[in-house]
């Protein structure tokens, strides 16, 4: 199986590290030729987690997206969601024929309110059976430091999912599989929105007691949304055996759902929490974006989920308030005064 990685950011770099640590050669698309030359000559990404050193004999680096895809069987997309449509625009509609596509995108396409699989199906005819996801609480910085992390691989075909996941097993990374392709993606989108809220609360100088109650309510709100869109496996305490791994099947308390929510809301590595903290401290959205200099997926995601929820009608007062703070100029303090009254 020949892997390609599309993207040159921190998570793409971390995924490249995992595969090459296992001795697996990769075709790596990075849009910037100067970054490619730096990696070839200096063996590290100059812009993201530069502590990771690569054996460049395992890297085929190129800014030619079509060539990288054509050479590969399994395409890992690790491009921020707001850039995906533009970056893939030049590709032919049959570009992903007979390819497996793995999403490492914890976001939603902002101009279309679509998950990545929906976009790839509409534009390239990619069947869901050839689409997989990598999700879970796994900060790129901790992968770089080789601190034990867990990744969940989701796909409709659990045997093929397990085969892909096996390439990522290392001493510092454990892999889990499930078949909840849509649920894990929505959970990843929602946890970024709630991490913005956690950051805003910190910026407003709420304490840990409030934050714990806020996140508990966000977890409940997330579960309600997932249930409304027909996602299964979200009840805590109800476990069935997975037919492939023979382990208990993941429920809503698993790492890919609740675990990722917790780490994104609490961790100082979380760019969404950091972005929200700036907003809570009084930064404008534009100023926070310039200061962060990285994509906070939750910013666009909160507008997408707000629009999607117009049809779904889930009870989402926390996510809706975060949307209004970021997109409708509601003051952070006023918004959180409203949130205070609905927490249980």
Nearest to 274 by CA among 191, 189, 198: 198
Last residue of a domain, one of 124, 159, 179: 179
User: Tell me: the pLDDT tens digits for 175-221?
Assistant: 999 899 999 999 999 999 999 999 999 999 999 999 999 999 999 99
pLDDT for 296: 84
Last residue of a domain, one of 137, 156, 179: 179
pLDDT for 248: 61
> Any idea of the CA torsion for 324, 328, 330, 331, to the nearest 10 degrees?
110
Q: What average pLDDT score do residues 311-338 get?
A: 96
Residue count (the chain): 344
Kindly tell me the burial class for residue 84, based on how many C-beta atoms sit within 10 Å of its own C-beta (0-12, 13-18, 19 or more): buried
Task: Clarify whether residues 269 and 212 are in a common domain.
Answer: yes
Task: Clarify whether residues 243 and 139 are in a common domain.
Answer: no
Task: Clarify whether residues 276 and 142 are in a common domain.
Answer: no
Is the confidence at residue 340, as pLDDT, over 90?
yes
Task: Clarify whether residues 238 and 274 are in a common domain.
Answer: yes
Q: Sign (positive/negative) of CA torsion 312, 314, 319, 321?
A: positive
Could you tell me the CATH number of the domain that includes residue 7? Answer: 3.40.50.720
Task: Clarify whether residues 212 and 175 are in a common domain.
Answer: no
Provide the domain count of the chain.
2
Task: Clarify whether residues 276 and 289 are in a common domain.
Answer: yes
Tell me if 320 sits within 8 A of 307, measured CB to CB. no
pLDDT for 255: 84
What is the rounded CA–CA span in Å between residue 134 and residue 6?
14
- What percentage of residues in the chain have a pLDDT greater than 90? 83
Could you tell me the CATH number of the domain that includes residue 289? Answer: 1.10.1040.10
Task: Clarify whether residues 172 and 201 are in a common domain.
Answer: no
Residue 243: band (very low, low, confident or very high) from pLDDT cuts 50, 70, 90:
low
pLDDT for 241: 62
What is the rounded CA–CA span in Å between residue 341 and residue 344?
9
What is the rounded CA–CA span in Å between residue 70 and residue 244?
31
Nearest to 181 by CA among 157, 160, 164, 163: 157
Task: Clarify whether residues 9 and 132 are in a common domain.
Answer: yes
Residue 111: band (very low, low, confident or very high) from pLDDT cuts 50, 70, 90:
confident
What is the rounded CA–CA span in Å between residue 274 and residue 288?
9
Task: Clarify whether residues 300 and 241 are in a common domain.
Answer: yes
Task: Clarify whether residues 23 and 117 are in a common domain.
Answer: yes
pLDDT for 256: 87
Task: Clarify whether residues 18 and 47 are in a common domain.
Answer: yes
Partners of 198 in beta bridges: none
Helices within 133-228 (DSSP H only)? 140-144, 158-166, 181-203, 208-228
53: phi then psi, degrees, rounded to nearest 5: -105, 135
Last residue of a domain, one of 133, 149, 179: 179
User: Tell me: the pLDDT tens digits for 150-168?
Assistant: 999 999 999 999 999 999 9
Residue 59: band (very low, low, confident or very high) from pLDDT cuts 50, 70, 90:
very high
Task: Clarify whether residues 95 and 128 are in a common domain.
Answer: yes
> Any idea of the CA torsion for 285, 320, 107, 293, to the nearest 10 degrees?
10
For the entire predicted model, the pTM comes to 0.92
User: Tell me: the pLDDT tens digits for 244-259?
Assistant: 556 666 566 688 889 9
pLDDT for 231: 78
Residues 115-124 as b or e (16 or more Cβ within 10 Å = b): bbbbbbbebb
The range of the structural domain enclosing residue 234 comes to 183-340
């Amino acid at each position: 199986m020949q892997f390609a990685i599309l993207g040159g950011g921190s998570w793409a770099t971390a995924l490249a590290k995992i595969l090459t640590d296992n001795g697996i050669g990769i075709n790596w698309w990075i849009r910037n030729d100067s970054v490619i030359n730096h990696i070839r000559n200096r063996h590290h990404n100059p812009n993201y987690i530069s502590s990771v050193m690569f054996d460049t004999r395992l890297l085929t680096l190129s800014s030619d997206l079509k060539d990288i895809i054509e050479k590969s069987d399994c395409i890992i997309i690790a491009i921020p969601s707001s850039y995906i449509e533009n970056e893939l625009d030049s590709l032919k509609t049959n570009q992903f024929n007979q390819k497996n596509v793995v999403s490492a995108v914890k976001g939603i396409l902002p101009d279309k309110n679509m998950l990545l699989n929906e976009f790839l199906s509409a534009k390239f005819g990619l069947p869901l059976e050839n689409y997989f996801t990598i999700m879970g609480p796994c900060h790129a910085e901790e992968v770089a430091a080789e601190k034990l992390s867990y990744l969940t691989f989701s796909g409709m075909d659990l045997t093929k999912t397990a085969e892909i996941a096996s390439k990522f097993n290392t001493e510092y990374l454990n892999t889990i599989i499930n078949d909840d392709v849509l649920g894990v993606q929505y959970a990843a989108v929602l946890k970024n929105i709630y991490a913005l809220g956690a950051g805003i609360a910190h910026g407003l100088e709420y304490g840990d007691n409030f934050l714990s109650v806020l996140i508990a309510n966000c977890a409940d709100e997330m579960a309600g949304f997932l249930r409304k869109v027909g996602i299964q496996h979200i009840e805590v305490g109800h476990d069935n055996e997975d037919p492939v791994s023979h382990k208990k099947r993941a429920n809503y308390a698993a790492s890919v759902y609740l675990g990722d929510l917790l780490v994104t809301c609490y961790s100082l590595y979380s760019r969404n929490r950091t972005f929200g903290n700036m907003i809570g401290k009084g930064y404008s959205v534009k100023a926070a974006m310039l200061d962060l200099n990285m994509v906070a997926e939750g910013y666009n995601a909160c507008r997408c989920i707000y629009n999607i929820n117009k049809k779904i009608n889930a009870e989402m007062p926390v996510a809706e308030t975060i949307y209004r703070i970021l997109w409708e100029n509601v003051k952070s303090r006023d918004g959180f005064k409203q949130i205070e009254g609905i927490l249980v």
